[in-house]
């Protein structure tokens, strides 16, 4: 182990894995490879601050110093106070002054477990997490963490994963990891190839339950992350053996061993369709059973033509024959579907359905909702009726401070007609929560575009409901939209048919030769057109996180351009996107917001027109949103959409992806594409169908027990 002491001069780069590369000035005689007294070193980004004086413990490799541990050298009270107030999550300037004033040099000299005890006694209002944050910023080392670092860092495990394992298991961290690296390591986000190498080095038997279960759960999670709710058995066996042979062990798993384990694993469910996690199967069963209660299969009633004419006169519009066929959807208790592409008049039709229903049923309640706040706001503005997110409709808002529980059949949503917009983006779990909150006899109309990408969550609700043939469906096809976005609609239709879009004043096509040229073009566009006062006016979307102009690269560039604190993953005034759904905290995968403050009590975020206070643990589910993936753009619309299409990965060049991207724009589309990437995407209609059980369950009206 080599020790270097000096000052962090300049942060060069923060990599995707959270590792920070920085220039380190040291007069230390151990720095023999330093040039002009400077060293290039790497450590976890959240611990690196320019001008901080620190001690690094680590090793040299390929002219780079890899720090295993960083400990701040004692600094004066003012500097130390600033360090804590700026970088310790949950600690403000007042608290920092009290801490530094009380302990002074003891902050650095006291072993971690003793300092934690002292802080607990002297500052009883501090939570365990807040105390841990203080120790982390000061570089106070825990012996267990030290051993865990020394064990995992040679495998290239990110520091975030190491800290996760430590925080979850504390003094038993290393013991649990060595017993089952797949379980604890998988939850910590360690790459599977690394888990295989760790297990191999630990001499865990290739056919042991621990390893086989680790592979099985990894394979099923791959499917879940792709939106599948199950995996066919043939595909499952093939994938398991491909994965098993791909890394350290390089073996196949005999079918008898694999079968014995999966049939004994209580977390799994197997039937004639395939294999899945039990919770995913339960979600689909729940939806099926809730639908059987809500929808009794009644017939649509006829809406007199003269009543539709009254609506037309009131709104000063004229409905097409197809739009007129949509009105009976609100006459039937249960579920009905209104689908169509952009510009086909879905919103205008919905407005008419609501007006007609209200005239016929003046004493009945109407509720409008959508998956995200942005979609709900758009629905409200276009119809003139209040709209909310699904979570708000079912009174599921734990982050708001309200002590309310989810709605259910005993405490249902008091609405007789419920309109659900952007229903293509609703996953199975969310749809189940909604259904259980609807009272029997209510009418539910799902509105969406069946050609959009399916939901980020597992499931394919809109597609499955249509495919089941159980519910009335009205398809709108005629394009009514005129004006500045006509070219957007026309090009969306062209893409849907497999043709390449055409240039127009508000539809730019910029061809480049490689990702380097693409990055320069995109930088120019963003620099000229990004509006700091209206950060969501222009939004960049693209298929991949990786690459010279991928999501990660663009977000790093924009944060530097806007002078954000790049030593942090996100900072104040960053526009952000949530990358995971947390029903308990009340945020959804793909939901957007703006970070306003890192307060002592938590992270203040403005999202969906609401100020929310989130615990600092939620930071793991937050990423910058100057660019994000096309999949996460579902349900959102922005005036200007900037799209980047790289040649690789080719698997992402699909018609449904480019169609979804283009239809996110309200006023203008700019597409930057490499070589033939745009043509390839438009012609490729081979997107693999999601594996779901719901359509079959609904068709057969299965009611299996869990």
Q: What tokens does 665 get? A: 């724009």
State the alpha helices, DSSP H only, in 384-427: 390-393
105: left (phi over 0), alpha (psi -120 to 50) or beta: alpha
**146, containing H or E segment:** helix 143-152
What helix, strand, coil percent values describe the chain, rounded to 5?
45, 20, 35
Please count the other Cβ atoms lying within 10 Å of the Cβ belonging to residue 132.
22
Q: DSSP string of 585-614?
A: TTB-TT-EEEEEEEETTEEEEEETTEEEEE
Please count the other Cβ atoms lying within 10 Å of the Cβ belonging to residue 441.
10
> Half-sphere exposure of 148 toward its Cβ, with a 13 Å CA cutoff?
29
645 bridge partner residues: 673
14 bridge partner residues: 20
Q: Which residues contact 513 (CB under 8 A, 6 or more apart)?
A: 674, 675
What is residue 706's predicted lDDT score, i.e. its pLDDT?
38
Q: Where do the DSSP E strands lie in 449-506?
A: 473-476
Q: Using CA atoms, how far apart are residues 500 and 671, in angstroms rounded to an integer?
A: 12
Instruction: Using CA atoms of 381, 382, 386, 389 in order, give the dihedral in degrees to the nearest 10.
Output: -90
Pairing verdict, β 334-340 and 268-270: unpaired
From residue 4, give the alpha-carbon distance in Å to each of 34, 67, 143, 148, 367: 11, 9, 20, 21, 64
Strand order, beta sheet including 665-674: 507-512, 665-674, 638-645, 538-542, 627-629
CB 120 within 8 A of CB 112: no
Of 490, 499, 503, nearest in space to 344 by CA? 490
CB 14 within 8 A of CB 556: yes
From residue 546, give the alpha-carbon distance in Å to each of 41, 161, 179, 462, 629: 23, 20, 33, 30, 11
CB 527 within 8 A of CB 534: no
- The stretches in the chain having pLDDT less than 70 are 1, 14-18, 27-38, 44-49, 51, 62-63, 72, 74-75, 139-142, 159-160, 396-405, 479-485, 567, 581, 583-584, 586, 589, 600, 608-609, 617, 635, 686-688, 701-706
What is residue 693's predicted lDDT score, i.e. its pLDDT?
94
What is residue 485's predicted lDDT score, i.e. its pLDDT?
61
pLDDT tens, residue by residue, 463-496:
999 999 999 999 998 766 555 567 898 899 899 8
Q: Using CA atoms, how far apart are residues 508 and 496, in angstroms rounded to an integer?
A: 18
Pairing verdict, β 38-44 and 64-72: parallel
Q: Which residues contact 258 (CB under 8 A, 6 or more apart)?
A: 212, 216, 237, 240
Q: Using CA atoms, how far apart are residues 418 and 336, in angstroms rounded to an integer?
A: 11
**Would you mind telling me the total number of residues written for the chain in this entry?**
706
Q: What tokens does 625 get? A: 């949103």
Q: Where do the DSSP E strands lie in 381-532?
A: 387-389, 417-421, 443-448, 473-476, 507-512
CB 21 within 8 A of CB 43: no
What is residue 460's predicted lDDT score, i.e. its pLDDT?
92
SS3 501: coil
Q: What tokens does 540 get? A: 């960049």
Q: What tokens does 642 get? A: 């900037």
Q: Using CA atoms, how far apart are residues 170 and 164, in angstroms rounded to an integer?
A: 10
Three-class HEC string of 68-90: EEEEECCCCHHHHHHHHHHHCCC
CB 706 within 8 A of CB 289: no
Q: Which residues contact 678 (CB under 8 A, 6 or more apart)?
A: 500, 501, 509, 511, 645, 658, 671
Q: Which residues of 316-325 are buried (b: 16+ CB within 10 A; e: fewer)?
A: eeebbebbbb
């Amino acid at each position: 182990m080599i020790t270097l002491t000096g000052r962090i001069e300049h942060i060069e780069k923060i990599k995707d894995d959270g590792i920070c590369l920085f220039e380190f000035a040291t007069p230390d005689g151990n720095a023999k490879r330093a040039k002009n007294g400077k060293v290039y070193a790497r450590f976890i980004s959240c611990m690196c601050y320019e001008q901080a004086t620190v001690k690094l413990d680590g090793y040299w490799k390929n002219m780079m110093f890899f720090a295993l541990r960083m400990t701040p050298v004692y600094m004066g009270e003012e500097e130390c106070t600033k360090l804590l107030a700026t970088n310790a999550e949950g600690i403000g300037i007042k608290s920092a002054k009290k801490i530094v004033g009380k302990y002074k040099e003891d902050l650095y000299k006291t072993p971690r477990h003793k300092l934690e005890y002292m802080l607990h006694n002297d500052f009883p209002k501090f939570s365990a997490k807040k105390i841990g944050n203080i120790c982390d910023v000061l570089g106070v080392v825990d012996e267990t963490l030290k051993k865990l670092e020394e064990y995992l860092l040679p495998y290239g495990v990110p520091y975030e994963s190491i800290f996760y394992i430590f925080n979850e298991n504390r003094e038993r961290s290393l013991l649990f990891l060595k017993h089952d690296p797949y379980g604890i390591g998988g939850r910590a986000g360690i790459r599977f190839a690394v888990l295989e190498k760790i297990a191999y080095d630990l001499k865990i038997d290739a056919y042991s339950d621990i390893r086989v279960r680790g592979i099985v759960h990894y394979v099923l999670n791959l499917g879940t992350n792709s939106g599948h709710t199950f995996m066919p058995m043939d595909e499952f066996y093939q994938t398991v053996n491909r994965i098993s042979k791909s890394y350290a062990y390089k073996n196949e798993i005999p079918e008898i061993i694999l079968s014995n384990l999966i049939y004994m694993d209580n977390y799994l469910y197997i039937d004639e369709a395939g294999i899945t996690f039990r919770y995913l199967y339960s979600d689909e069963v729940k939806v099926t059973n809730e639908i059987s209660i809500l929808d009794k299969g009644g017939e649509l009633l006829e809406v007199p033509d003269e009543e539709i004419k009254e609506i037309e006169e009131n709104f000063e519009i004229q409905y097409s024959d197809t739009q007129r066929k949509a009105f009976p959807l609100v006459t039937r208790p249960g579920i009905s579907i209104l689908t169509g592409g952009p510009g086909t008049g879905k919103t205008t039709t919905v407005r008419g359905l609501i007006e007609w229903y209200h005239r016929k049923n003046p004493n009945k309640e109407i509720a409008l909702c959508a998956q995200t706040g942005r979609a709900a706001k758009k629905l409200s503005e276009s119809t003139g009726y209040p709209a909310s997110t699904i979570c708000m409709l079912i009174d599921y808002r734990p982050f708001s401070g309200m002590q309310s529980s989810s709605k259910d059949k005993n405490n249902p949503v008091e609405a007789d007609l419920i309109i659900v917009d952007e229903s293509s983006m609703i996953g199975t779990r969310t749809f189940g929560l909604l259904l259980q909150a609807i009272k029997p006899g209510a009418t539910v109309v799902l509105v969406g575009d069946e050609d959009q990408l399916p939901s980020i969550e597992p499931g394919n609700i809109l597609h499955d409901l249509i495919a089941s043939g159980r519910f009335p469906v009205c398809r709108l096809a005629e394009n009514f939209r005129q004006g500045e976005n006509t070219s957007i609609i026309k090009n969306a239709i062209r893409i849907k048919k497999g043709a390449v879009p055409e240039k127009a004043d508000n539809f730019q096509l910029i061809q480049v030769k490689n990702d380097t040229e693409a990055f320069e073009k995109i930088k120019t566009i963003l620099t000229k057109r990004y509006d700091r006062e209206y950060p969501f006016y222009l939004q960049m979307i693209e298929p991949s996180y990786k690459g010279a102009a991928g999501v990660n690269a663009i977000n790093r560039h924009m944060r530097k351009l806007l002078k954000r604190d790049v030593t942090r993953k996100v900072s104040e005034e960053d526009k952000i996107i949530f990358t995971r759904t947390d029903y308990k905290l009340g945020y959804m995968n793909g939901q957007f917001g703006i970070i306003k403050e890192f307060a002592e009590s938590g992270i203040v975020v403005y999202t969906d027109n609401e100020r929310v206070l989130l615990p600092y643990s939620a930071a793991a589910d937050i990423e910058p949103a100057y660019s994000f993936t096309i999949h996460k753009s579902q349900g959102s619309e922005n005036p200007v959409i900037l799209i980047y299409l790289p040649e690789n990965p080719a698997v992402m060049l699909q018609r449904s992806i480019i169609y979804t991207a283009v239809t996110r724009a309200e006023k203008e589309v700019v597409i930057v594409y490499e070589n033939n990437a745009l043509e390839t995407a438009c012609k490729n209609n081979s997107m693999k169908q999601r594996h779901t059980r719901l359509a079959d369950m609904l068709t057969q009206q299965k009611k299996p027990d869990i």
